[in-house]
Amino acid sequence: MRSNHESGSVLAADLVLAAAIILVVSATATAFGTVAGAGQDHTEAARNAAVVAARGELDRALDVASRLSPGSEVSMSVSADRIAVRISSVVATPHPVLRWTSLTVRGEAAVPVAPYRSGRG
């Protein structure tokens, strides 16, 4: 009975390659998930802040945005019929080669002023 020692080494090399591919794919998926989650959080915070600002509470709107997205940069533009809020921050994500990479994530929302103003005083 002859044994073939080389066939086992090919299997080991294939397993190492598969492990490396899984590592790269999982790191990429984690990075996409982190960035997508931060973008969604920023968009929701911007929407909430824009609604508060449309009610006429500009200072409170900035406070709401800062609380919902801590450490982020918040900007607001106000016009006669529309309020837009933009939130951005730098997010560090894992990278299979560089260990960590930083990406800027932005979220924004705009709402009309008219539906939120109340005539009750």
Helix (H) or strand (E) holding 6: helix 6-54
Residue type, 65: A
Residue 49 pLDDT: 95
- Give the span between the Cα atoms of 117 and 54, in whole angstroms: 7
Sketch the domain layout of the chain as residue ranges.
7-116
Tokens of 17: 């390659």
DSSP string, 7-69: HHHHHHHHHHHHHHHHHHHHHHHHHHHHHHHHHHHHHHHHHHHHHHHHTT-HHHHHHHHHHHS
Instruction: Give the pLDDT confidence of 74-113 residue by residue, as tens digits.
Output: 999 999 889 999 999 999 887 767 778 888 999 999 999 8
Instruction: Give the pLDDT confidence of 36-64 residue by residue, as tens digits.
Output: 999 999 999 999 999 999 988 999 999 99
* Band of pLDDT at residue 118, cut at 50, 70 and 90: low
Residue 48 pLDDT: 95
Instruction: Give the pLDDT confidence of 1-30 residue by residue, as tens digits.
Output: 555 555 556 788 889 999 989 988 888 888
Q: How far is CA 11 from the centre of its chain?
A: 40
Residue 27 pLDDT: 82
Do residues 62 and 76 lie in contact, with contact meaning Cβ atoms separated by under 8 Å? yes
Do residues 33 and 103 lie in contact, with contact meaning Cβ atoms separated by under 8 Å? no
